[in-house]
Structures are given as C-alpha cells and as structure tokens.
C-alpha cells in the first residue's frame, strides 16, 4: 500500500455513498488561524457534476412519491442525528472558517432547528415541484447556508446536489454521511466538490431545475 504524508482528500457524496475521483487539481483546506493544511478538496468539473445529477434524477421518483410527512420525518431524524454530533460539527466549522466557537455552535443549532422543524427557507417558493436543485454554498455559513435551500426543497420532493465552497467543505460533507445513517435514499442528497468548473458543470448538465447562486 502506498503511504503519503499529504493531507487526505475529501470524497464526493454521490448515490448515497462516498465517491472518490481523480480530479485534475485540488485545493488545500487551511485553518485560517494557523495556516495548517487540514485536508484537500478535489476541484471537479462537468463529468462529476453529471454523475451527481444523474444520481439525483434517478432518486426523484422514489423521493417525490413518498408522502410529505415521510420526507419531513427523515429530515427531522437527520436533525436529531446532527444534534448528537453538534460539538464535532462546530469544531469543523471553527477550524475551516476561523469563527469563534460560539458562532459555530449557533450555526449548528440553527441547522438542527431547521431540519427538525422543517421550517421554510429560501427555496420554499422555487422548489414547489419535484426536480433536481443545485445549491452553491459559501464559506460564511458552510452548513446552515446550503440547508436553507436544501430543507424546503427536499421537503417538497426535490433532490439536491450541493457544491460547497472548496475552502470549507467538511461540515456539509459530514452531514451527507449522516444522511446515509438516517436511511435517506441514495441520490437524494449529494455533494459535488469544486470551484467554478463544478458550478459550470451544474449549469450545463440537463435536468437541474434550479441552481442557486
């Protein structure tokens, strides 16, 4: 087995499991306070975007035909699972964004409340019918930001492909892992890593109903 001292790359999350890819380039994920490289984000493009969207499309019928209450119950279960690991998620946010622990804990609490309460968010009006929703995250709120779009979309029967900021990818990827533990169908909640090429891939792939900015 080859061994390396390089920081580990974060996989994508496609079709309900971690998905490794040979990306053309990687971005270092650094702790803003120390400058230490924590991990690496693969900078993906059209090919990976297509795989993520295809998996999301394949999951649409199963997800959309579940009752609204069934989808809401799964989202609530995900919120309960997140609450069990709230401290871990807050640490991920602190080490990648540089915010203080109080701000990180508040973001995690907001994400838990959103998931358990299934409250309306930014996408409530746009995601009233099933489809694939592409969500572009940012570093200001790497966990709560994408969920403000994803939760109402998922509750309405849409599936989501989230493209986190490559500098702050870990919290939302860890949440994707929790969707697997909470019995979300594969393809309902996917993570696509990368920068502008990944965003452009989501724009070009057919089947994306809504792409957030």
Is residue 4, in this structure, part of any structural domain at all?
no
Task: Give the Å distances, CA to CA, from 77 to 21, 53, 145.
Answer: 30, 24, 19
Q: How many residues does the chain have?
A: 213
Can you give the pLDDT at residue 118? 60
The DSSP element (H or E) to which 110 belongs, if any, is helix 101-117
Domain that holds residue 141: 12-211
The rounded distance, in Å, linking the Cα atoms of 180 and 189 is 9
Domain assignment present for 5: no
In a domain, 3, yes or no: no
Residue 211 pLDDT > 80: yes
Burial 125-154 (b: 16+ CB within 10 A, else e): ebbeebbbbbbbbebebbbbbbbbbbbbbb
Considering the chain, what is the average pLDDT of its residues?
92
Residue 2 is predicted with a pLDDT of 36
In a domain, 7, yes or no: no
Model pLDDT, residue 7: 81
Q: Note the pTM of the prediction, 2 decimals.
A: 0.92
Q: Is residue 82 part of a domain?
A: yes
**Residue that is written with structure tokens 């200001």 in the block:** 140
pLDDT band at 5 (very low <50, low <70, confident <90, very high): low
What is the domain count for the chain?
1
Provide the pLDDT for residue 123.
Answer: 46
207 secondary structure, DSSP code: T
Distance, in Å, from the CA atom of 147 to the CA atom of 123, rounded to the nearest integer, reads 10
Closest Cα to residue 154, out of 86, 62, 85, 21? 62
Structure confidence at residue 128 (pLDDT): 52
What's the confidence (pLDDT) of residue 125? 43
Do the domain assignments include residue 1?
no
CA distances from 166 to 5, 88, 190 (A): 21, 19, 15
Instruction: Summarize pLDDT for 90-104 with one digit per residue, the tens.
Output: 999 999 999 999 999
In a domain, 108, yes or no: yes
| Confidence band, pLDDT 50/70/90 cuts, at residue 150 | very high
Task: Say if residue 121's pLDDT is above 90.
Answer: no
Q: Measuring CA to CA, which residue among 152, 169, 157, 144 is closest to residue 61?
A: 157
Task: Please state, in angstroms and rounded to a whole number, the distance separating the CA atoms of residues 79 and 115.
Answer: 5
Give 12-58 pLDDT, tens digit per residue.
Answer: 999 999 998 889 899 999 999 999 999 999 999 999 999 999 999 99
Q: What is the pLDDT of residue 6?
A: 74
> The domain that contains 200 carries what CATH number?
3.40.605.10
- Please check whether residue 84 lies inside any domain of the structure: yes
């Amino acid at each position: 087995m080859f061994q390396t001292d390089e920081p580990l790359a974060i996989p994508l999350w496609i079709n309900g499991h971690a998905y490794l890819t040979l990306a053309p380039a990687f971005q270092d994920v650094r702790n803003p306070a120390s400058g230490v490289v924590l991990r690496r984000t693969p900078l993906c493009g059209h090919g990976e975007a297509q795989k993520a969207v295809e998996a999301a499309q394949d999951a649409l019928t199963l997800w959309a035909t579940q009752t609204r209450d069934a989808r809401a119950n799964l989202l609530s279960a995900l919120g309960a699972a997140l609450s069990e690991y709230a401290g871990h998620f807050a640490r991920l946010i602190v080490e990648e964004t540089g915010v203080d622990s109080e701000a990180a804990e508040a973001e995690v609490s907001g994400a838990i409340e959103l998931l358990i309460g299934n409250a309306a968010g930014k996408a409530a009006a746009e995601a009233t019918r099933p489809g694939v929703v592409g969500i572009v995250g940012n570093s200001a709120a790497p966990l709560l930001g994408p969920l403000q779009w994803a939760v109402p979309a998922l509750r309405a029967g849409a599936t989501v492909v989230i493209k986190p900021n490559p500098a702050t990818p870990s919290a939302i990827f860890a949440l994707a892992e929790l969707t697997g533990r909470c019995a979300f169908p594969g393809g309902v909640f996917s993570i696509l890593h990368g920068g502008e090429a990944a965003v452009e891939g989501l724009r070009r792939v057919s089947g994306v109903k809504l792409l957030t900015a």
